[in-house]
Amino acid sequence: MATGRILLTINIRRYLVGQPRTKRARKAALYIRERVAHYTKTKIEDVKISQELNNLILKRYSKSMSPVRINAKIENGKATAEPFAKDASMAADQAKPATDAAKKGLAEKKK
């Protein structure tokens, strides 16, 4: 089996439009597991959804039904789905001091 990471964007709106509101979070998690299993060529039982992604599904995606961006990590025939925003926020935190320094430089030039 291959190991690595892939970025997936899953459109859950197509699947959730016909579902009752009370069952959307559970159905969204199941649909995400199915799609990750399809793209990583693993079984549905071998796909694990991380706690962060599960919380996002419960709070945000079951209501808004916007597309979900996922980092799928594949190791030894098992896939783990994590939210993509976690990696993006970490990258933004690393880039933040540079932007703060640039703002200080602009403030000093104005004086």
Confirm whether 101 is domain-assigned.
no
Confirm whether 31 is domain-assigned.
yes
* Rounded Cα–Cα distance for residues 111 and 107 (Å): 7
Confirm whether 42 is domain-assigned.
yes
**Residue whose tokens read 């399809």:** 38
Question: Percent of the chain at pLDDT above 90?
Answer: 40
* Rounded Cα–Cα distance for residues 111 and 105 (Å): 10
Confirm whether 73 is domain-assigned.
yes
CATH for 81: 3.10.440.10
Predicted local distance difference test score (pLDDT) of residue 45: 94
**What digits encode the pLDDT tens for the residues 61-99?**
778 888 889 999 999 989 999 998 654 444 444 445 556
Name, in order, each residue with C-beta under 8 angstroms of 11's C-beta and a sequence gap of 6 or more.
67
Cα-Cα-Cα-Cα dihedral sign, residues 75, 80, 84, 88:
negative
Confirm whether 99 is domain-assigned.
no
Buried b (16+ CB within 10 A) or exposed e, 46-66: bbebbeebeebbeeebbeebe
- Whether the predicted pLDDT of 29 surpasses 60: yes
Domains of the chain: total: 1
Range of the domain at 38: 4-85
Confirm whether 105 is domain-assigned.
no
* Rounded Cα–Cα distance for residues 2 and 54 (Å): 25
Confirm whether 48 is domain-assigned.
yes
Confirm whether 92 is domain-assigned.
no
